[in-house]
Amino acid sequence: MVIERKIAISLKNVSKCFKRYEHPGDRLKELLFPGKSRAQEFWALRDINLEVAKGETLGIVGRNGSGKSTLLQIIVGTLTTNSGEVKVNGRISALLELGSGFNPEFTGRQNVFFNGRLLGLKQEEIAAKFDEIAAFADIGDFIEQPVKTYSSGMFVRLAFAVAIHVDPEILVVDEALSVGDGVFVHRCMARIKSFQDSGGTILFVSHDMGAVNRLCSRCIWINQSQIVEQGSPSEVSKSYQSWIYEQINDNYRKNSSKAEQEPVLEQQKEQTNQTNNGHNIIVVKNKSQEPNAINTFTNKKYLNFNRVTRFGTGRSEIIDFKILDKSGKNTSFVLPEQIFSIWVTVKCHDFVKNPIIGITIYDRLRTTITAWNTTQYQHELPSLNKGETIIIKFTVNWPHIKNDNYLLEPAMADGSQENHEMLDWLQSAFSLQSGVTSLTFGLMALKDISISHNVIRAAKLTHQVLESA
């Protein structure tokens, strides 16, 4: 028996082109003298093919200007395509960029009714929902004031309240929640989860990969007007993360002067041991070292972990990674309060002036659980020359965390915490199983919770029988 997949949104070969004019008068000249184009064409979307099933939550990621918002506006109907076919099955409600769909001269109340009518609701239906919308927005008397007097946070509160309360079948959210305060964002996320549970379809655009991984069942990555990858949120987020660091590294190389990359040559072989804050470092020096500028490095032939997805410029390479228990044995299982060590060995294929080594831990949805590095713990590493190897040991006390499988990803960079070049990052290379805890709900159990109580019992009532005279 074949189960028919009901489609909420279908796009076939959708393209959108905008015209950009160098001078305002060129637009008028083009109207008066047709036949010659005076505009530069900018293709915001090219040949987009996409199907979104009913009940699916689709995450959409990509850098600013990649075409995400244009895609959503075409789906919602506020933009038309140059070519292609768009089909939307069901009432759609959208929370797009700040200001869309609201008249700034209208009051909040008037905009609620105005938007409701645009979405196909009758006047009496909107009136029946108004008190619920106003309570969710929680902007008080400002709902009777013109929207142009609202702060960005107040605007989003009202816009989301309208979008989620007009009984949509498809909800579109485009990064707008990023300007809301913490309490309201949590309230919105709870409402989105409720909408998911009721079978609603969601398009969710965000730069917060953690939110995309937690909320979405599928994800697409748009870059330079095209869908470059689609699949599970965890897999797409890894590719997107790798690409982002490629852009960061390109920018770092452009901004780094050659003077800052001059190596400090060592003339003799030595071994340096340092201990600080639970981290052990061993630096193995090499006699023959040649300076190699960052812009000329092209090494990509890794010595180890050839089957592991990794990214970075390759000027240094993680060649070994292991997790050891207190007795020094390899382990992949830990219990709460268990102390173990993580050993990372890195070989330098080039001079590294300011090395940073760290670990990131993810859960199965690729939500970041925690991350740390040597700079964060004020542990300064020495500059490393070509051919040298550094071994660092992190000593960890495992928390009372949910019994699950966690991914550990080591990385090495060169630079500062705020501005650095990623040299090597191993993705999803090592797993660690967390043992049973006393945790009942949630992700993490707090340590050493003390509980006390005091009962104030009701006083016994004394009844008097009053006799009438």
Structure tokens at 439: 């945790």
Distance CA 322, CA 311 (A): 20
Looking at the fold, whether 262 and 378 belong to one and the same domain comes out as yes
Looking at the fold, whether 200 and 266 belong to one and the same domain comes out as no
Looking at the fold, whether 310 and 189 belong to one and the same domain comes out as no
Report phi then psi at 400, rounded to 5.
-80, 85
CA-atom Rg of the chain in angstroms: 29
Looking at the fold, whether 237 and 265 belong to one and the same domain comes out as no
Residue 461 lies in a domain: no
Structure tokens at 166: 């007009």
- CB neighbourhood size of 70 (10 A): 21
Number of folded domains in the chain? 2
Residue 304 lies in a domain: yes
Looking at the fold, whether 239 and 260 belong to one and the same domain comes out as no
Residue 158 lies in a domain: yes
Print burial letters for 261-293: b (CB count within 10 Å at least 16), e (below 16).
Answer: bebeeeeeeeeeeeeeeebebebbbeeebeebe
What single DSSP character describes residue 352?
A: B
Residue 151 lies in a domain: yes
CB-based contact 133:162 (threshold 8 Å): yes
Q: What is the CATH number of the domain that holds 192?
A: 3.40.50.300
Report phi then psi at 206, rounded to 5.
-160, 150
Conformation bin of residue 448: beta by default, left when phi > 0, alpha when psi is -120 to 50: left
Distance CA 412, CA 359 (A): 9
Residue 446 lies in a domain: no
Residue 421: what pLDDT? 92
The sign of the CA dihedral 68, 71, 77, 83 is positive
What single DSSP character describes residue 328?
A: S
Residues 6+ apart with CB under 8 A from 155: 98, 99, 102, 147
Distance CA 40, CA 21 (A): 6
Q: What is the CATH number of the domain that holds 335?
A: 2.70.50.60
pTM of the model: 0.75
- CB neighbourhood size of 429 (10 A): 17
Residue 449 lies in a domain: no
CB-based contact 8:56 (threshold 8 Å): yes
Residues 6+ apart with CB under 8 A from 442: 402
Structure tokens at 383: 């500059």
Looking at the fold, whether 198 and 267 belong to one and the same domain comes out as no
What single DSSP character describes residue 280?
A: E
List average pLDDT for each run of 10 residues in the chain, which is 469 residues long: 72 91 73 73 91 94 90 90 93 74 88 84 89 90 91 85 88 74 78 90 89 91 93 91 87 63 42 44 45 41 84 93 94 91 94 95 87 93 94 92 90 92 90 78 74 75 49
**Domain that includes residue 347, residue range:** 256-434
In this structure, which amino acid lies at residue 397? N
Looking at the fold, whether 331 and 193 belong to one and the same domain comes out as no
Residue 274 lies in a domain: yes
- CB neighbourhood size of 437 (10 A): 17
Distance CA 451, CA 440 (A): 16
Looking at the fold, whether 193 and 320 belong to one and the same domain comes out as no
